[in-house]
């Protein structure tokens, strides 16, 4: 509570000195020239360090004016120019107090800004995780539910496996959300997010294959174990986003080819489907679209790579190239 009044206290002391300076100049007690500026500087330093920011400017100006006027009235034997120069020099305690109180305040402010920036980056990471992983599983649930609804009447026996796949995708989405909620509840230190690896690609492709009728082929290069872990995590996200977009915007695709090749020098990801003609119309009808490819392109570019997505003949292809040096 006292901190809110430190600026007022400092300014009140300055006003008292300003008002009493003429009388002090006539009495000329020698100790005032040393004690009063020191007291004013101390009050100013406290106000700058802990008081409201709006009081810093007025308190500093009043303190400098009080110090200068005090010396001006006590140095009557000096010539006017000498008195002015001496008075100006006598404001140095105010400048010193401004530095002493302002530097730790500025340091604390910069530290809080860095903490908030780190938290914002962490929130963006969690948002990407929700989109990349949870949305992928949920889109699988929707696809399986639609398939089960269409075949329930004519082929009731096909609904059972579809429901099993819906259950598996739902459990995977819940597990991902549980991990994220656990990270949000982490009380001490930054949350550690386990990075996906390229070893997880076969399972990802198998789940995608089981959720639809498309023929899915995965080709992995022999040297992927040498891909840096950070690069591998971005590559995995590229595949997740590309497959999610196939499910959402290219439901008529009958062939999906996933190719991931590279090594220590970098990795190249290609995801191609044969529904290019339908993709734009479905994308417009979807409406929301989200920040999937845009956010993914930001991650790839931040890793030093490049990402492109568009029609390639009769197919639709997503291509990303990420250098290993980015790690």
In the predicted model, is pLDDT for residue 289 greater than 50?
no
Those residues whose C-beta lies under 8 Å from the C-beta of residue 234, and which sit 6 or more positions away, are 299, 300, 303, 305, 320, 322
Cα–Cα distance measured from residue 282 to residue 251, given in angstroms and rounded to the nearest whole number: 9
The pLDDT assigned to 277 comes to 47
CA nearest 206: which of 150, 258, 271, 132?
A: 258
More confident residue, 242 or 152: 242
What whole-number percentage of the chain has pLDDT above 70? Answer: 78
Cα–Cα distance measured from residue 24 to residue 22, given in angstroms and rounded to the nearest whole number: 5
More confident residue, 51 or 144: 51
Q: Using one digit for the tens of pLDDT, what is the confidence trace for 305-315?
A: 899 988 887 78
| Section 107-122 average pLDDT | 80
| Section 61-88 average pLDDT | 83
In the predicted model, is pLDDT for residue 298 greater than 90?
no
In the predicted model, is pLDDT for residue 187 greater than 90?
no
The pLDDT assigned to 24 comes to 59
Its pTM stands at: 0.48
> Where is mean pLDDT largest: 60-64, 180-184, 223-227?
60-64
In the predicted model, is pLDDT for residue 323 greater than 80?
yes
Query: Contact at 8 Å (CB) between 98 and 51?
Result: no
What whole-number percentage of the chain has pLDDT above 90? Answer: 8
| Section 123-151 average pLDDT | 70
In the predicted model, is pLDDT for residue 105 greater than 80?
yes
| Section 260-283 average pLDDT | 74
Cα–Cα distance measured from residue 89 to residue 165, given in angstroms and rounded to the nearest whole number: 81
Cα–Cα distance measured from residue 145 to residue 138, given in angstroms and rounded to the nearest whole number: 10
Query: Contact at 8 Å (CB) between 275 and 316?
Result: yes
| Section 137-163 average pLDDT | 74
CATH of domain 195-327: 3.30.565.10
State the pLDDT confidence band at 228, using cuts at 50, 70 and 90.
confident
More confident residue, 317 or 182: 317
Cα–Cα distance measured from residue 324 to residue 124, given in angstroms and rounded to the nearest whole number: 23
| Section 24-30 average pLDDT | 57
The pLDDT assigned to 120 comes to 78
The pLDDT assigned to 129 comes to 64
Query: Contact at 8 Å (CB) between 4 and 50?
Result: no
What are phi and psi for residue 271, nearest 5 degrees?
-125, 115
Cα–Cα distance measured from residue 246 to residue 212, given in angstroms and rounded to the nearest whole number: 11
Average per-residue pLDDT in the chain? 78
């Amino acid at each position: 509570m006292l901190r809110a009044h430190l600026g007022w206290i400092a300014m009140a002391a300055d006003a008292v000195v300003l008002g009493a300076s003429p009388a002090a100049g006539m009495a000329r007690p020698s100790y005032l020239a040393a004690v009063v500026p020191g007291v004013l500087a101390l009050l100013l330093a406290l106000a700058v360090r802990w008081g409201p920011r709006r009081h810093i400017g007025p308190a500093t100006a009043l303190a400098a004016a009080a110090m200068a006027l005090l010396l001006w009235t006590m140095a009557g034997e000096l010539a006017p120019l000498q008195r002015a120069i001496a008075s100006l020099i006598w404001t140095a305690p105010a400048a010193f107090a401004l530095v002493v109180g302002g530097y730790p305040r500025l340091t604390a402010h910069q530290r809080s800004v860095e903490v908030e920036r780190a938290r914002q980056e962490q929130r963006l990471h969690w948002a990407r995780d929700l989109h990349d992983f949870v949305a992928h599983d949920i889109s699988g649930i929707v696809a399986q539910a639609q398939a089960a609804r269409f075949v329930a009447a004519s082929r009731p026996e096909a609904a059972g496996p579809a429901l099993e796949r819906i259950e598996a995708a739902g459990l995977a989405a819940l597990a991902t959300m549980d991990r994220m909620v656990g990270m949000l509840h982490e009380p001490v230190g930054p949350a550690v997010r386990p990075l996906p690896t390229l070893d997880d690609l076969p399972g990802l492709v198998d789940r995608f294959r089981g959720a639809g009728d498309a023929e899915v082929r995965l080709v992995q290069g022999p040297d992927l174990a040498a891909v840096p872990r950070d690069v591998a995590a971005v590559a995995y996200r590229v595949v997740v986003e590309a497959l999610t977009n196939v499910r959402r915007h290219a439901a008529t695709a009958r062939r999906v080819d996933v190719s991931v090749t590279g090594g220590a020098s970098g990795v190249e990801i290609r995801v191609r489907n044969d529904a290019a003609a339908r993709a734009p119309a479905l994308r417009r009808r979807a409406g929301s679209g989200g920040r999937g490819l845009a956010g993914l392109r930001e991650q790839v570019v931040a890793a030093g790579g490049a990402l492109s997505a568009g029609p390639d003949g009769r197919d639709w292809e997503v291509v990303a190239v990420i250098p290993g040096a980015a790690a």
